[in-house]
Amino acid sequence: MTLTTTIQTYLTDAATSEFRGLGVTVVDHWEGRDNLLWRVDAAGRDAVLKLFLDAGQVRSRRQYDGQQLFAPLGIAPQP
């Protein structure tokens, strides 16, 4: 199984996937310095899936998302 096939399987089978049960077609893919990207189409819905290759990048993104969510409540710093 290739990585692209694994991505397709994840998108169509994962319980949390917005594309669960839909036919997903990989339209294009790219390799960046620190990530891999796939452009997909599923029933006319376009999306880009990004896979981080650097765990630090994933942690930073999670921290930024958390700060965006909780800063307005006064329990986290502004991102």
Where residue 27 falls among pLDDT bands split at 50, 70, 90?
very high
14-18, 21-25, 46-50, 65-69: which has the minimum mean pLDDT? Answer: 65-69
Q: What pTM did the predictor assign?
A: 0.61
User: In 3-state terms, what secondary structure has residue 43?
Assistant: coil
What is the average pLDDT value for the chain, to the nearest integer? Answer: 85
If phi > 0 it is left, if psi is from -120 to 50 it is alpha, else beta; for residue 68 that is: alpha
Dig out the tokens for 5 from the structure: 């096939």
By DSSP bridging, strand 45-52 and strand 24-31 are unpaired
Q: Using the predicted structure, report yes or no on whether residue 58 has a pLDDT greater than 70.
A: no
Length of the chain equals 79
